[in-house]
Each structure stands twice: as C-alpha cells, then as structure tokens.
Structure 1
C-alpha cells in the first residue's frame, strides 16, 4: 500500500513540474483583412474547401481545410499561396506563416481556422477566419 501511495505522489509531483505557464497570444486574420509588417502584409483571400469533421459527427479522420493567403509587398501582390490546414501539415504551415510575421510573433504554437463546422449548419464564407496562437 505504501508503495502505491509513494508511486502516486511521485507521478503527481512530476506532472506539476511538467506544467508550462506560457503566455499565449493570438493573431486573427479575417477574410480581406491583413497583418502588416513593414510594407508587406497577408490577406486571407478565401476558403477553397472545408472537409473538417463537424462537431457531433463521428468521422474516420479529422479532415482539413484549404485556404488561399495573398502576400502583398508595397500594395503589389507578390504571392498567392494555397495552404492546407490540418494536423499533418501543421509544421509546414507554421514555417510558412513565420516568414511573414514580426519576430516577436514567430514562436507559433498552432494555426486554426474558425468557425469549426457543426452538423447541419452551413458556414457563410465571410465568417471564416484564421487564428494563429503564439508565445511571446
């Protein structure tokens, strides 16, 4: 009994040391809005497809959402990029966004597209936005 109690206390104490109090902030990119950075900026142009598994539905896979991001430099389009936002493309997308964000916003934790689909509810195109979580 003492061994079980000791093991429980040991596991609990390690879990306390594993806690991380990071100061997470968020950037929100709405459609046709931008994040400015010294003459260049990003716009969330459109959603091409949204195959994410809706809340309330059991799916075989989580799905993905494809979006188009436009990069401007001095009011001129320099690149349009189609990104697939999913668990499998997470690191690639973090690297892509990091090259266009200010240095203090580059420690990106995750990228999500909202709103998340719900069973039987159609999402209007104008309601989509991208949320980038980063640690200061």
Structure 2
C-alpha cells in the first residue's frame, strides 16, 4: 500500500513537471479542485491552493528518521514548517511532526474540507545525502 502511494505521488509529480514545462513562466503556486481522498504533494519551497486555502511548504526543520537501509534503536522523526493562508483570514505558520507511527495529521479545517498531512517524502536512505533530497509534503483533503 505504501509503495503504491509513493508510486502514485511520483507519477503525479512527473505529470505535473511535464505540464509545468509547457507554460511560459514557472510559478510557485498551483490550484487544484478538492477531490475527496485525492492525495497530492507540495514540493519544499512551493505552495498549493485548494478550497480557498493556500498551503506553503516552508522548511524541513529536522529529519532524524531512521534510513530504510539501516537498523536503528530509535525510529526518529521529521519536523517541517508550513504556512497556511485562508481567504479573509490572517496567515499563520504551523509545525508538523511526523513520528514513527505514520499517522495522518490534521493541518487545517475549513467549512468544506479537512486537510491532512499523510507523509514527508522521500524517506531517508543512506545512499542519498540529505542535501540531495527533494522533499515533498503529501497531503489529502477529506
């Protein structure tokens, strides 16, 4: 199931990159129509608009998750910072903590949707240095 989710996220990004290259200007913001249970991802430094809410993935504060190819005593965690702007309301920043349990985290609620963070990708591997990782926040509106 997790492999399928990761595969679908990468397919989404590949299609997104192809569409983005067709435009004359690169933009940091894109809009989507909220579809219940349709996962999408936000690249580090980019933002996504949906249902009148703009979510910006600002920063990876910590990524001490145990790499997939290592046996660790502690599973580690990842912390990120996002910005949330909702039409007619003041924007605010929020920290999200991903622990070893892998549970979904409610990051924002509107009148029509609940927006949850489901994962931070990619999961660390010793073969890929942290400086070479392109992080994505995986999100799902419910």
Normalised to the residue count of structure 1, the TM-score between the two structures is 0.61
Q: Mark the structure with the bigger radius of gyration.
A: 1
Distance 2:123 2:57 in 1: 17
Q: Which fold has the larger relative contact order, with Cα–Cα distance below 8 Å and residues 6 or more apart in sequence? A: 1
Residue 30 in structure 1 maps to residue 35 in structure 2: no
TM-score by length of 2: 0.59
Alpha-carbon distance, 1:62 to partner: 1.9
Q: What SS does the aligned partner of 1:28 have?
A: strand
1:101 Cα offset (Å): 9.3
Q: Secondary structure at the match of 2:107?
A: helix
Partner of 1:86: 99
Going from structure 1 to structure 2, the CA distance change for 1:58 and 1:87 (only over 3 Å counts) comes to: closer
Deviation at 1:132, TM superposition (A): 2.6
Secondary structure of the structure 2 residue equivalent to 1:124: helix
Deviation at 1:44, TM superposition (A): 0.4
Gaps spanning 5+ residues in structure 2: where? 1-35
In structure 1, how many angstroms separate the alpha carbons of the residues matched to 2:78 and 2:86?
26
- The answer as to whether partners of 1:37 and 1:101 remain within 8 angstroms in 2 is no
Separation in structure 1 between the aligned mates of residue 133 and residue 61 of structure 2, nearest angstrom = 13
Answering whether residue 72 of structure 2 is matched by residue 59 of structure 1, we say yes
1:46 to 56, 59, 62: 59
Task: Report the Cα offset of residue 55 of structure 1.
Answer: 1.5
User: Residues 70 and 77 of structure 1 are in contact (CA less than 8 Å); yes or no, is this contact kept in structure 2?
Assistant: no
**Where in structure 2 are the equivalents of 1:1-136 lying within 5 Å?**
25-74=38-87, 78-88=91-101, 90=103, 93=105, 95-97=106-108, 99=109, 103=113, 106=114, 111-124=118-131, 127-133=134-140
Number of aligned residue pairs = 107
